[in-house]
Structure 1
Amino acid sequence: MVRPRPPLIARDAALGELERLLHGAAERGSAFVLVSGKAGVGRTTLADALAARHHGPLLRATGAEWERDRAYGVLGQLIGESSRGGAVEVSSAIARNAESAGGTVLAVVDDAHWADQPSLQALASAVRHHRDTRLLVLATAVTGDPDVPAPALELLHRVADHAITVEPFTPPEVGELAAAHGALLHPSMAERLWRHTGGVARHIGQLLAEVPRTTWARFDPALPAPAAVAASVRTALAGCSPEARGLAEAAAVLGPGTTVRDAALLAGVPGDVLPALDEAVAARLVEFGGRGLTEIGPPDPMVRAAVLAAMGPAAAARAHRRAADLIDDPVRRMRLLVAASPMPDPDVADRLDALAAERAAEGAWGVAASLLNDASRLTEDRLKRESRLTRAVDALIGAGDAFAAAALVPEVESLRETPLRNAVLGYLAIVRGRAAEAENRLGRAWDLVNTEREPDVAASICQRYVLHSLSRLRPEELVSWADQAVALAGEDAPAGVEAAAIRGLGLAAAGRAAEALAAYAELAERVQHGAQAQRILMGRGWLSLMVDAVDDARADLESSVPTTFLGGSTRISLWARAWLARAQFLTGDWDDAVRTVREATPLLDRAGIVLAGPLLYWTAVAVHALRGDWDDAELALRRADAGPQDYEIMRVPSYLARAHVAEARADSAGVLRALRPLTQPWAGGGVDQPGQWPWADMYAHALVLEGRYAEADTFLTRQEALAAGRGPGSARARLGAARGRLLGSQGELDQAREAFEAALELLEDLPLRYDSARVNFAYGQILRRAGKRRDADTVLTTARETFAALGATTYVARCDRELKAGGVHVPRTERGLGELTPQEEAVSQLVASGLSNREVAAELFLSTKTVQYHLTRIYAKLGIRSRAELAARRGS
């Protein structure tokens, strides 16, 4: 029976490099390649993949520990004959063998760290002394194994012409490998398997084959060791003294970061512990931690699982219970008691519930979720068990792990209907971007709840409505629900604090920014520590961005990105990253903005919080489009559009992202198509809030560029009225530039100048580099069209310098065309083909590049008729009759 070849996952780059080297051996001569990595990481699979793609002569050999002293044993496997003499003499035989084979010879030596040195020396000499021979030697070797002889590894690294290191899989790659084995893992489970196995392909494949499929759909399952690892650990334990075995078992029970003192006490090792510790370390059952000789732990989670399994359930339970008496940390102590409780235990379950409530009060939802899930499993009373399980799902969502929460949904949906159950399912629907489902679930929860008997549940429902209203961009509803949550729960309860942390955003969106800032100042003073502080900082940073306090916004948002706030929320971190990227974009730190989005992407994929996706990728689309990186822009745009678009907070940034692409392509009609939904009645006041969603000026500019002046005037008048009453300076500046473009297009140059100068004055003290460049560009276009070429040249040069510093190549090119069309720095003797004017030269370049008259008009801010007029004159001057001839003439 032929053993199926393991799937090749995430090794395309390494395989491509090996293929390149193999082809190079045919063109440039022989070479020696070393492929190394941890045991089981996939070195052999990679070598097999190369061998499968090689159509020439193939030689195979495998090193073995028991044959490493047999001279030329590996070489005998390769060329089928025993060899005598020194390495150089033998290398000649290898070369002759390769030359007679016909074609490029691929010689694979697997596990070369066990190969005999004479064979390795002969292969190295064959490569070095017979470079004209078409031979590629590929040797695979294990690294990081203390049993592997150092001389062999040193020799391999010394003789290798090329070295390729095979790294363990990343969590997404673990998911790919699992899918190839027929198991679909959600990202959080893929990460759990990755942590358990260290990303080693062999262990992953073994567990996927050995563990029941139902395990992978559970929340927080206890993963065993692969059978091979378990057998190795059992053998190691059997060979240990009672003291060393006791230390290994104690380390497995207590887990990583255990003090030697605690392990010795639990193991009952008296006196000098070092001999037993040396023995356990040598057996690879224990390793030292990060604090020298004072801290130990299992080498990895698999060894820990294997040791606990070898102890047996009864012994392991007794050890866990004894260990709980040694630990001061309450969470760690309770987890030890859970491991010691195979049957329902009301006392332990109640203690878990109480501790979960404490952690929830701090906003440490991830810890609370784990404690509540354990409590539900140890609860015999059905109503209590169902309540604890439901609260565990709620806490998981609060922590931002939507995938793990979704894994428990079938069980929660099977429970009897309660207000809490509906509220939790509604909460999950929100973070998964399903507005209609959330509306139904929360509405049902509110209908069922009795606010007098269950004020805490009612407050929780209100708090979910706060998030729902935020996502629907309904500020008045948000403030109303937040006030109810605080009234029901109290201002210091988790639901009250979380509602207050978002309430300020509703106040600001409703035009009460000063009140919102004061509320955040009071809240931040009252709650300075723990995971709740993360929510407050994020909300305040978001608000600061809305009111042009960009430096304050960056400080708060950067502080609220980490999730190290006692188990802080991934959801809050994602919101913080999205608005931080936006702040970095506005200040011109575009590389930082792209990096922020890139670093958030794995977190978004792992958490499953699709609600935050469009907001995050909006900024990436803008940067890539302005830089002319169209493939990256389209990829980010697809990410922004992925999943449901039920919530306005998802739809609005998605529309803006599309508008950025269209504007970067000088497609004003495309801008209008992208943003037209925001002019519809569904958008409401939340979309029109000046300062948060910078779409109104883009829409107005596009209307003017399309010649729809009356419509632009009506639109701008409404937006200016809103901004005058409650808009920050940046919003008024953006609208002022759009007004300036409209006035200039209608021939009102003096009024246009006033509008542009006022806009630039509003931006003067703000660090908004992109907005300043954009206003200057529009101003320069108007001045050039009005014939004020020297003034236009000054303004456009300022815009160009800023765009160039940002890397906005699309606008740099436009500035160059505007400057050239202005002709201030272009002597008549340098006008180009057929003595074209600067304006004609700009038109001819764009037409020759393939743009239509309409597209040229949008690019140069001209009417279509003017473009046609210039094109007619160009044809006459150059003596041509078509666009094709113009393109050919310019290309010659």
Structure 2
Amino acid sequence: MPELFGRGAELEALEGVLDAVARGGSRLVLVRGEAGIGKTALLSVLRSRAVALRFVVCEGRASELERDVPLVPILDALGGSLVSSGSGAERWRAYRELGERVASVASGRPLLLLVDDVHWADPATLEFLDHLLRRPPEASLLLALGLRPSPVADRLLAARRASGAIELVSLDLAPLEREVAEALLADVVDADRVFEASGGNPLLLQELARSGGGVPGGIVAAVQAEVAALPEDAQRLLRAGAIAGDPFDLDVAIGIADLDLSRALGALDALEAATLVRSELAARRFAFRHPVVRGAVYEGLGSGARVSGHAAAARVLAGFGAALPVRAHHLAFAAVPGDLDAARILRAAAGEVRAQAPGVAADWLLAARRADPRGADLADLAETLVEAGRLTDALAIAGDSAEPRMAVAAASVERRLGRHDAARLRLRRALDAAATPEVAARVSADLAVAAYQRGEYAEMRGWAFRAADGTSGAVRAIAATLLAVGDAFAGEPLAGTSGLGDAVADDELGALAEPAMAISWGLLALDRLPDGLAAARRIAAAARRSGNGAAAIPHDLAAVLALGLLGRIAEAEPLADAAEQSARVSGNAQLVQWALWLDAWVLLERGRLDPALAAATESVELAQQLDDSASAIVARAVLGAVLIARGSHAEGRPLVAAYDIDHGWVCRWAPVLVESDIALGDLAAARGHAERAASLAPASGMAGARAAAARAQALVALAEEGSGWAAAAPLAAGLALQAIAEAESAGAALEAARAHLLAGRALLAHDRDAGIAQLRTAEEAAVRCGAPRVAEEAVLVLRQSGVRVGRGGPRAPGGEGLGALSPREREVAQLVAEGLTNREIGARLYLSEKTIETHLTRVFAKLGLRSRAQVAATVSRAG
């Protein structure tokens, strides 16, 4: 165990953390400080004490020169190979699999996952850590990260704050005080001068003490002076090792150094005697004394020596039959203009890692472009940069080109950055440059979609007319949908909206998946909920088959909205969660903002108000960094609805009242506003909101809007009953029954459940049996929907009416734990806990995979859980 000086408070804090995790908690420990300040030593003590407490310990370390090798620190820690992650934004699936591996590694014991030097971590590792902080496994987890103060630390802290899922312990290491450093200076001449030169940095103190205190210039200078005193062969092998990696393979380093075996072994003995390297557990692998030592050795190389060293490493690895990505890591340093073979290997390697590490792939493609500019596929490079979230770099590749294909792609990137005005300008230039009517129609369709996203529906209709003129296929379907939406918003009768996109081939929809979001979302705006759900799922699948995972996300979000409006909240929740994860990995701020308010809306309907508030707040805050759009306005309305549900009416009501885009949603928000008005005692405002919805609903042509408007009026009538108006309750009941009929015609099961609840409350006064029947229907329907807030309100009204509510049947989430499950659902949960897949469970029970999915969805809903790992943990705790 390394000796620590002056870290008593930090060690005491770590003892508390270990105790908390051992008792079932989860913690994030960030150990921050400059190079050499003692982060690694402190983490080593944490590791030793965790082992003594029978923790499962997994550890890895990032390295400055291996930042283009994806997930190496995590895979070193957890064991196993790189998991399959699909394409582009589907990387989150790999991170979910890794998260499940974290839970399985623990095997019921507390787990320490330790990753050092996180400031050097590759993008995929940072994405996974971000994912883990937002969705930690249910098992007792201590995630300990060592890193220097940097934007990486800020990113991880932001993820932890956003989720609130894991408690933080932050240890910021300060330089040692003079008296604490005394033990390190015992044998040093002129100790005061050496301490002053070190600034209290423990590693620099040790390096200066090792050199006799006579080397100014910090750690790098001290190490380089130590290296300069070595024999020539030892210096060559050490520098080769710095190029090869840390730890490095001895045979690779010997090849880079171009030493025969006898000389190399002598050099190795000299390095070990100087304690510059130490043997690893794996045969013929050696690590540097400290990562800073390796950095100092590498920094001591001239630029030419680095290039030639990495070129030699690539040749040696090729001779050993190493994989292309391993060779590409070195060629990215070594490739020079005109090196066509290096460019070919870099492009091939980029293709292999692009799905899991698009940032790495982009760097390799840029290196290949430097080596072979003529062979570069700029469109492919731009797409890879987009997948990596490096949107401004992708725009730099596109430049100011007015060539329609590049301009449309660049406009897409501008929208992903939330810069809608810049996107419109690019598309207008592309339209002016369009050489054929087909190209002009395609660009016009993009302009129509862009106007739709901004909420500018008059402009949308104009571009949609131009796009529809003389075109066919997906472009015509996009234009026709937007024209129908524009007509609906203008209060004109809907016509010609059947079969939108049905006749278009999947591959064409997949190729135009981004503008085709107008079909998915447009159908929902037209209140064609089942059609919108089917279109969203179809186009998302087509986009993924084409390798464009990011373009599938808006369709996933449309599916979430469709499921929510259909009252299938239990199904919507895991899809909303997946879409949010996928959006985060895509690096698209606009998509993340969009996904967050939808996730918040679903969580609100599920009755999970704390996470709903966190998601809605983050969505609104993120929208402030983007151009204003319809999505930003909706986010503020969702935040307002969550605040109202939490009882913060004065704060939430103005946010919902400010929504004034889609008349259908003005009607849908009306009951929320009316309930808030009534809670604040403002009956006049309640009447105004209900009357406005009643005036807008008929012109919308949408049953869902009419249902919400009728329910808002019923809420006002029921409130007026307390003012002594005798006809209020019958009027409220009649309006609620009207709302039920409209909601059922639209397939909006949750809206119907709310209307049943309202009808029951209105009927109780003059037809108790009918009222009770309506309330029971409301409870049963709400439980089927996975909406416990509505179910619990129905139960409350029943009990207040003297009705004994039975304990059997489906339960709302959190009701009775595993006792809420049916025998078959309990059986499925048990097999999930045993680690079986849905297919394996179906084979075991002689049921279809789809039936198992249905049972598992109900298990999630009844237990209030979100993942298979949580189900397994719940079953395990129940014995």
Note the alpha carbon deviations across 1:266-306, whole angstroms, 9 max, x for none. Answer: xxxxxxxxxxxxxxxxx99699xxxxxxxxx9547234434
Letter in 2 for 1:405: L
> Does residue 1:768 correspond to 2:792, yes or no?
no
Partner of 2:823: none
Out of 627, 647, 654, the position equivalent to 1:673 is 654
- Figure out how many residues of one structure are paired with residues of the other and give that number: 568
Q: What secondary structure is seen at the aligned counterpart in 1 of 2:696?
A: helix
Partner of 2:703: 729
Partner of 1:564: 544
Post-superposition offset of 1:774: 0.9
The verdict on how the C-alpha distance between 1:626 and 1:479 changes in structure 2, with shifts beyond 3 A counting, is closer
Partner of 1:792: 771
Letter in 1 for 2:775: L
The equivalences for 1:525-544 within 5 A come to 525=504, 528-529=507-508, 531-532=510-511, 534-535=513-514, 538-544=517-523
Post-superposition offset of 1:470: 0.8
Out of 534, 553, 578, the position equivalent to 1:555 is 534
Aligned counterparts of 1:316 and 1:3: Cα–Cα separation in 2: 52
> Does residue 1:759 correspond to 2:733, yes or no?
no
Q: What secondary structure is seen at the aligned counterpart in 2 of 1:764?
A: helix
Note the alpha carbon deviations across 1:715-759, whole angstroms, 9 max, x for none. Answer: 444433432233222221121122223334354233333222222
Partner of 2:389: 403
Post-superposition offset of 1:318: 8.3
Out of 436, 442, 462, the position equivalent to 1:480 is 462
Letter in 1 for 2:325: P
The verdict on how the C-alpha distance between 1:406 and 1:185 changes in structure 2, with shifts beyond 3 A counting, is farther
Does the Cα contact within 8 Å between 1:617 and 1:636 map onto a contact in 2?
yes
> Does residue 1:301 correspond to 2:311, yes or no?
no
The equivalences for 1:62-211 within 5 A come to 170-173=125-128, 180=148, 182=150
Partner of 1:814: 793
Does the Cα contact within 8 Å between 1:655 and 1:675 map onto a contact in 2?
yes
In the superposition, the TM-score normalised over structure 1's length comes to 0.51
Partner of 2:671: 697
Aligned counterparts of 2:497 and 2:655: Cα–Cα separation in 1: 33
Does the Cα contact within 8 Å between 2:576 and 2:602 map onto a contact in 1?
no
Aligned counterparts of 2:438 and 2:637: Cα–Cα separation in 1: 39
The verdict on how the C-alpha distance between 1:695 and 1:233 changes in structure 2, with shifts beyond 3 A counting, is farther
Does the Cα contact within 8 Å between 2:597 and 2:619 map onto a contact in 1?
yes
Does the Cα contact within 8 Å between 1:733 and 1:763 map onto a contact in 2?
yes
Does the Cα contact within 8 Å between 2:337 and 2:371 map onto a contact in 1?
no
Partner of 2:860: none
Post-superposition offset of 1:565: 3.6
Post-superposition offset of 1:18: 5.5
Partner of 1:581: 560
Post-superposition offset of 1:702: 3.9
Aligned counterparts of 1:526 and 1:59: Cα–Cα separation in 2: 61
Does the Cα contact within 8 Å between 1:225 and 1:303 map onto a contact in 2?
no
Rg comparison, structure with higher value: 1
Out of 336, 341, 360, the position equivalent to 1:317 is 341
The answer to which of 616-625 and 708-717 deviates more is 708-717
Partner of 1:647: 628
The equivalences for 1:354-369 within 5 A come to 369=379
The equivalences for 1:375-454 within 5 A come to 392=382, 401=387, 403-409=389-395, 428-435=413-420, 437-438=421-422, 442=424, 446=428, 450=432
Post-superposition offset of 1:23: 9.4
The verdict on how the C-alpha distance between 1:317 and 1:774 changes in structure 2, with shifts beyond 3 A counting, is same
Post-superposition offset of 1:49: 4.5
Identify the structure with bigger relative contact order (alpha carbons < 8 Å, sequence gap 6+): 2
Post-superposition offset of 1:431: 2.7
Structure 1: gaps spanning 5 or more residues: 6-12, 25-44, 62-103, 112-139, 146-156, 188-208, 211-223, 240-282, 288-296, 328-334, 353-367, 374-391, 827-892
Does the Cα contact within 8 Å between 1:47 and 1:108 map onto a contact in 2?
no
Aligned counterparts of 1:485 and 1:819: Cα–Cα separation in 2: 55
The verdict on how the C-alpha distance between 1:575 and 1:470 changes in structure 2, with shifts beyond 3 A counting, is same
> Does residue 1:741 correspond to 2:715, yes or no?
yes
Does the Cα contact within 8 Å between 1:723 and 1:731 map onto a contact in 2?
yes
In the superposition, the TM-score normalised over structure 2's length comes to 0.51
Q: What secondary structure is seen at the aligned counterpart in 2 of 1:750?
A: helix
Out of 580, 586, 595, the position equivalent to 2:574 is 595
Letter in 2 for 1:649: A
Aligned counterparts of 2:387 and 2:153: Cα–Cα separation in 1: 14
Post-superposition offset of 1:515: 4.0
Post-superposition offset of 1:633: 1.8
Does the Cα contact within 8 Å between 1:233 and 1:303 map onto a contact in 2?
no
Note the alpha carbon deviations across 1:517-574, whole angstroms, 9 max, x for none. Answer: 247247x43665462363576433323333444333322222333442423261x322
Does the Cα contact within 8 Å between 1:432 and 1:610 map onto a contact in 2?
yes
Aligned counterparts of 2:564 and 2:587: Cα–Cα separation in 1: 25
The verdict on how the C-alpha distance between 1:697 and 1:21 changes in structure 2, with shifts beyond 3 A counting, is closer
Does the Cα contact within 8 Å between 2:667 and 2:708 map onto a contact in 1?
no
> Does residue 1:624 correspond to 2:606, yes or no?
no
Structure 2: gaps spanning 5 or more residues: 6-12, 25-37, 60-75, 82-104, 116-120, 134-144, 156-218, 221-242, 259-315, 352-362, 806-879
Aligned counterparts of 2:750 and 2:53: Cα–Cα separation in 1: 58
> Does residue 1:638 correspond to 2:611, yes or no?
no
Does the Cα contact within 8 Å between 2:566 and 2:749 map onto a contact in 1?
yes
Does the Cα contact within 8 Å between 1:723 and 1:732 map onto a contact in 2?
yes
Does the Cα contact within 8 Å between 2:670 and 2:712 map onto a contact in 1?
no
Post-superposition offset of 1:478: 0.7
Aligned counterparts of 1:315 and 1:443: Cα–Cα separation in 2: 39
Post-superposition offset of 1:516: 5.9
Q: Between the two proteins, what is the percent identity of the paired residues?
A: 19
Note the alpha carbon deviations across 1:16-58, whole angstroms, 9 max, x for none. Answer: 985568899xxxxxxxxxxxxxxxxxxxx9995565459xxx8
Aligned counterparts of 1:502 and 1:179: Cα–Cα separation in 2: 50
The equivalences for 1:845-856 within 5 A come to none
Q: What secondary structure is seen at the aligned counterpart in 1 of 2:390?
A: helix
Post-superposition offset of 1:597: 2.0
Aligned counterparts of 1:449 and 1:525: Cα–Cα separation in 2: 24
Out of 761, 765, 770, the position equivalent to 1:781 is 761
Does the Cα contact within 8 Å between 1:671 and 1:699 map onto a contact in 2?
no
The verdict on how the C-alpha distance between 1:229 and 1:49 changes in structure 2, with shifts beyond 3 A counting, is same
* Structural RMSD (CA): 5.9
Does the Cα contact within 8 Å between 1:423 and 1:445 map onto a contact in 2?
yes
